[in-house]
Amino acid sequence: MALLTSGTTAPTAGGRAAGAKKVSFMESQRLAKQKAYEKQAKKKKIGLADVCVFTQQLSSMLEAGLPLVQALEALQEQTEQPVFQIIIREVKADVSSGTAFSDSVRKFPKAFPNLFISMVEAGEASGGLASILGKVAVYFEQSVALTKKVKGAMTYPIAVITLAVGLVNVLLIMVIPVFAEMFSGFGADLPKPTQMLIDLSDFLKGNIIYIAVGLFVAFKLLTKFISTPKGRVIKDQTLFKIPVVGNLVQKVSVSRFCRTYAILLRSGVPILRSLEIVSNASGNTYIENAVLKITRHVSQGGQLSEVLATDPFFPPMVKHMAKAGETTGNVDGMMDKISDFYDAEVETIVDALTSLMEPILICVLGVVIGGIVMAMFLPIFQLSSVVG
């Protein structure tokens, strides 16, 4: 019988089988996840921040002289987002087999915006793919920064409002009934504010599930309606009419329009194709309608500034700057200046809103909570007249 060294044990057949089964199970799980990611590749929308990082890194690698296939292989390994990793792998396989890079990325419209695809086409045609991708990366970076700025400003008020709604519901459903039970022994009519608050508490306590389900269904229906053409128009019209918010939405939309149009023109994309991409990238029905009129006018030999001059959505400065750009032959430069100006305006408005929002929300929250507390203590303050 073979001797075993001290402190070791011979692996049993059962142990080996269990280990093999565990490895097999983990491998099957990995394959199942891989297949799930592959199914999502053409359906899942990739965030602009991820596309921005991809574009920056790809531009840098191409500028350094690395072949496209090797650059894509390196990016596939570096990308942490599993679905985006699958997409890059598929694009790399297509490019390796001789497919044009622009045709490869066009297969994944949810991952790569129209702007990216058109710029890649322009880069392939001009032979300057690396430099054009660098411009796209800068554009994406500016767009991401602006979006983060606006979303960051909205985070605080949304958090405070959510906290306030939760706190008020806790008071109405859990605290008010305790006071109501105490007041029921007074044998006299309660003050109207107190009685209204108790009635509201009873209603919420008895129907909280139905209210929650109703709000969820209403939210889903509203989201679905907003995604329809008519719903998008109504949403944009409503936002545009809200004080301050409408001004902010207008400036963000105009800035995006000018920045996108400028980078497309500078990269050699034809005007009509540039306008089509601008319309798709705008996400705003006012811009889409304006671009439709501009496309029709330009195709008949007209100028961009002539349509902008008659469209009320665009501020006067945009019209004058566009006209000056056409006169000097520097439309893209003027559009960039307009975009820089409105980006600065947006930052100013967002900073002002953030500064004003805090005291306003504190006051509103104080009035609501204070009103509830006063309504519940009102019978105690009037105890001599309430107690029969």
If asked whether residues 78 and 199 sit together in one domain, one would say: no
If asked whether residues 187 and 52 sit together in one domain, one would say: no
Q: What per-residue confidence (pLDDT) applies to 116?
A: 87
If asked whether residues 251 and 372 sit together in one domain, one would say: yes
If asked whether residues 202 and 294 sit together in one domain, one would say: yes
Domain boundary residue, one of 95, 112, 129: 112
- Whether residue 198 has pLDDT greater than 60: yes
If asked whether residues 77 and 193 sit together in one domain, one would say: no
- Whether residue 3 has pLDDT greater than 70: no
- Whether residue 282 has pLDDT greater than 90: no
If asked whether residues 370 and 244 sit together in one domain, one would say: yes
- Whether residue 253 has pLDDT greater than 80: yes
Is residue 133, in this structure, part of any structural domain at all? no
**11-36 pLDDT per residue, tens:** 565 555 555 555 565 666 666 666 77
- Specify the 3-state DSSP secondary structure of 268: coil
- Whether residue 56 has pLDDT greater than 80: yes
If asked whether residues 104 and 164 sit together in one domain, one would say: no
Q: What per-residue confidence (pLDDT) applies to 187?
A: 62
Task: Give the mean pLDDT of 75-104.
Answer: 88
Q: What per-residue confidence (pLDDT) applies to 374?
A: 85
Helices (H), the chain: 13-40, 48-63, 68-78, 82-96, 101-106, 114-126, 129-170, 176-183, 192-226, 229-241, 245-266, 271-282, 285-299, 304-308, 316-328, 331-381, 383-386
Task: Give the mean pLDDT of 253-275.
Answer: 86
- Whether residue 383 has pLDDT greater than 80: no
Is residue 159, in this structure, part of any structural domain at all? yes
- Whether residue 2 has pLDDT greater than 60: no
| Average pLDDT over the chain, rounded to an integer | 82
Helices 245-266 + 271-282 axis angle, to 10: 150
Q: What per-residue confidence (pLDDT) applies to 16?
A: 59
If asked whether residues 255 and 338 sit together in one domain, one would say: yes
Q: Which domain holds residue 331?
A: 142-388
- Whether residue 136 has pLDDT greater than 80: yes
If asked whether residues 233 and 293 sit together in one domain, one would say: yes
Task: Report the range of poorest mean pLDDT among 59-73, 119-133, 178-192, 235-249.
Answer: 178-192
The Cα–Cα gap between 179 and 16 comes to 67
Is residue 129, in this structure, part of any structural domain at all? no
Confidence of residue 5 (pLDDT cuts 50, 70, 90): very low
Task: Report the range of poorest mean pLDDT among 77-86, 339-348, 349-358.
Answer: 349-358
- Whether residue 10 has pLDDT greater than 90: no
Q: What per-residue confidence (pLDDT) applies to 4?
A: 44
Task: Give the mean pLDDT of 174-201.
Answer: 80
If asked whether residues 75 and 211 sit together in one domain, one would say: no
Q: What per-residue confidence (pLDDT) applies to 20?
A: 54
Is residue 262, in this structure, part of any structural domain at all? yes
161: CB partners within 8 A, 6+ apart: 361
The Cα–Cα gap between 365 and 372 comes to 11
Q: What per-residue confidence (pLDDT) applies to 388?
A: 47
**32-48 pLDDT per residue, tens:** 666 776 776 777 788 88
If asked whether residues 356 and 257 sit together in one domain, one would say: yes
Task: Give the mean pLDDT of 133-140.
Answer: 87
pTM assigned to the model: 0.73
If asked whether residues 262 and 209 sit together in one domain, one would say: yes
Phi, psi of 284 (to 5 degrees): -135, 130
Give the N- to C-terminal CA distance of the chain in Å, as an integer. 100
Q: What per-residue confidence (pLDDT) applies to 384?
A: 56
Asked whether 147 and 283 are in contact (CB, 8 A), the reply is no
Is residue 177, in this structure, part of any structural domain at all? yes
Comparing 1 with 258, the larger pLDDT belongs to 258
Domain boundary residue, one of 66, 91, 112: 112
Is residue 30, in this structure, part of any structural domain at all? no
Q: What per-residue confidence (pLDDT) applies to 122?
A: 83
Number of domains in the chain: 2
Is residue 31, in this structure, part of any structural domain at all? no
The CATH code of the domain that includes 104 is: 1.20.81.30
Matching residue, tokens 């939210």? 219
Domain boundary residue, one of 112, 130, 159: 112
Is residue 8, in this structure, part of any structural domain at all? no
CA 98 centroid distance within chain: 35
Comparing 106 with 30, the larger pLDDT belongs to 106
Confidence of residue 194 (pLDDT cuts 50, 70, 90): confident
**207-242 pLDDT per residue, tens:** 888 888 999 999 999 989 988 989 999 998 898 888
- Whether residue 337 has pLDDT greater than 70: yes
